[in-house]
Amino acid sequence: METILEIHNLSKEFFLHAQGRAIKSCKNISFTLPKGGFIGIVGTSGAGKSTVLRCIYRTYLATTGSVMYDSLSYGKLDLVKATERQMIHLRKVEIGYVSQFLTILPRTTAKEHVINGALDAGFSYEESMQKAEEMLRYFKLNENLWDIYPNTFSGGEKLRLNLAHAMVKAPRLLLLDEPTASLDNNTKILVKELLMKLKAEGTSIIGIFHDLEFMEGLCDEVYNISAGQFQNSKEVS
């Protein structure tokens, strides 16, 4: 099976100069993500789950190891060593990142936020507008919220907006950092359905989740991360 992401011996250590010591976050993480696959990561807080995702997205610089990504734009590429310009391009066009938090420009309405995402990916304004509307509908964000500043949105609405923002670029690789952490059950079910749909459409996904029930039927494989290391993996039917 074709792989889109191959992570080999990834370790991350934070050196804190003020304290004069290093904090080890994750060590020797290796796994591969097949094209169109869905890998779930679980673990206690502080175990290093988010660190793995952030190393892939290059928010963190990995201390050792490699993250080979099969990109459309540059071919096979180690994201740890890619140039900043390459990373910026990949983030705009190929790799999406969604967390439970909404980071939004001040005084931007929900719809504008999604439009901006599409503009970044290089679509024209008209196309972006159309795609944004499609995405907001797809993620079932109530239409009367579109022209409102999202700071006042509920957790679930923010999350769906985040997803719409990330998915409007139709990324090939989607990184989900505990997107369901603050959601009620009904919204979770909705998000799960949406993720199933994305997966069926061929997006490769890595997601951090807390509840195993949610991951059932969604993830092809679940890794348990503990003290910074992968403990075991299990296939989820």
Partner 1 sequence: METPILRIDHLTVRYGNTCEYCRNGGALNKNTCPHCKTVWACNDVNVQLYEGEILGIVGESGSGKSTLMKSLYFDFDITEGQGYLQAYKNGQEDIFAQSLQQKKYIRNHIMGMVYQNPMLGLRMDYSSAGNIAEKLIAAGQRNFGAMNDRVAELLDAVEILQSRKKEPPKNFSGGMQQRVQISKALANNPAVLLLDEVTTGLDLSVQVKVLELIREIRQKFNVSMMLVSHDLAVIRMLADRTIVMLDGKIIEQGLTDQILDDPQQPYTQQLVHSLL
Query: Does 113 contact partner 1 by CB under 8 A?
Result: no
Interaction residues for partner 1, span 115-174 (CB under 8 A): 119
Q: How far is the CB of 200 from partner 1 (least distance, A)?
A: 31
CA–CA distance, 196 with 179 (Å, rounded to integer)? 14
106 binds partner 1 (CB under 8 A): yes
Return the residue of 54, 113, 172, 199 that touches partner 1, per CB under 8 A.
54
Q: Which window, 16-24, 26-34, 162-170, 228-236, contacts partner 1 (CB under 8 A)?
A: 16-24
Task: Please identify which residue in 1, 2, 16, 200 interacts with partner 1, judged by CB under 8 A.
Answer: 16
Cβ 226 to partner 1 shortest distance, Å: 22
Contact 172, 77 (CB under 8 A): no
User: Which chain residues interact with partner 1 by CB under 8 A?
Assistant: 14-18, 54, 58-61, 84-85, 87-88, 105-107, 119
